[in-house]
Structure 1
Amino acid sequence: MVLTAAAIAGGGFACALCGRVYRRRNALAAHRRTHEGATTCDVCGAHISTVHNLRQHLRMVHRLPTEEAHWHQTHVCDACGRKYKSRDALVAHRKRHEGRTTCHLCGTTTSNVQNLRSHLELVHHLPRAEVRRVTGFRGGWR
């Protein structure tokens, strides 16, 4: 997260893409979703401030039933068509299609990379260094 001099002086958080400043980090996080397209109405193209407000917009303006409005703005896997409510969940799912959650030793496919790491440690008794190498580990460890 990039803070501008004005944001730092005012104690705020600035969007690195458009410069808009927010007082709270979670408000900036919500704003960032507008740049990701998560709050753009795919019926009329309107940019809505939050996912909640987008769902209200779909129900009130486009007269979609509540259930349809809830799932209308989703992230869809282009490989299998499975729908996810968040971009992060879709990214985690896509790793399955890339083979990044399949055990190279026994062929077991896990739901996510963290579960693959646990599988390699607990079932195959691989040392952590080897697990990190095999899974392309780049983050913190539990």
Structure 2
Amino acid sequence: MIEIERKFLVKSDVFKTDAFKKTRIIQGFLNSDKQRTVRVRIKEETGFLTIKGLSSKNGLSRFEWEKEITKQDAEVLLNLCEPTIIDKTRYEVTVKNHTFEVDEFFGDNQGLVIAEVELESENEAFEKPNWLGEEVTGNIKYYNSQLSKTPYKSWK
């Protein structure tokens, strides 16, 4: 499956009042090579194993495969992950016909808030809410796999 998404920094927390869902996510990377990443994730009581391929040149699309696993299996696999484990809360916000996933990071990435919107095509139009900031699509330092290697707190 090909994933097409755009990624933005978030400039205010107004999105929280519009969110219809809030989920805590813990994730780590078994492999964070830019050619392919292998991610272990726990969302509430469910585990997931995800493989992502290399991004397109413009950073908008890449191959993604995901399989649900037990929370217990995910907890065991997290112990094998590269440093650092990502801890975040995901807010889901509907804006017109699109759902934005807004991640508020904690721990070593405290202070970083990123919104993503998945699209059907690379040139699909969507409404940008006023809380969206600078677009960072394709900037790999904002990929979760890179945030685990070089956390936001070390950028300053």
Q: Which protein, 1 or 2, shows the higher relative CO under an 8 Å CA cutoff with sep ≥ 6?
A: 2
Query: Could you state the TM-score of these two structures normalised by the residue count of structure 1?
Result: 0.24
Give the TM-score of the pair, scaled to structure 2. 0.22
Q: Which has the larger radius of gyration?
A: 1
Structure number with the higher strand fraction is 2
Give the structure with the higher percent helix. Answer: 1
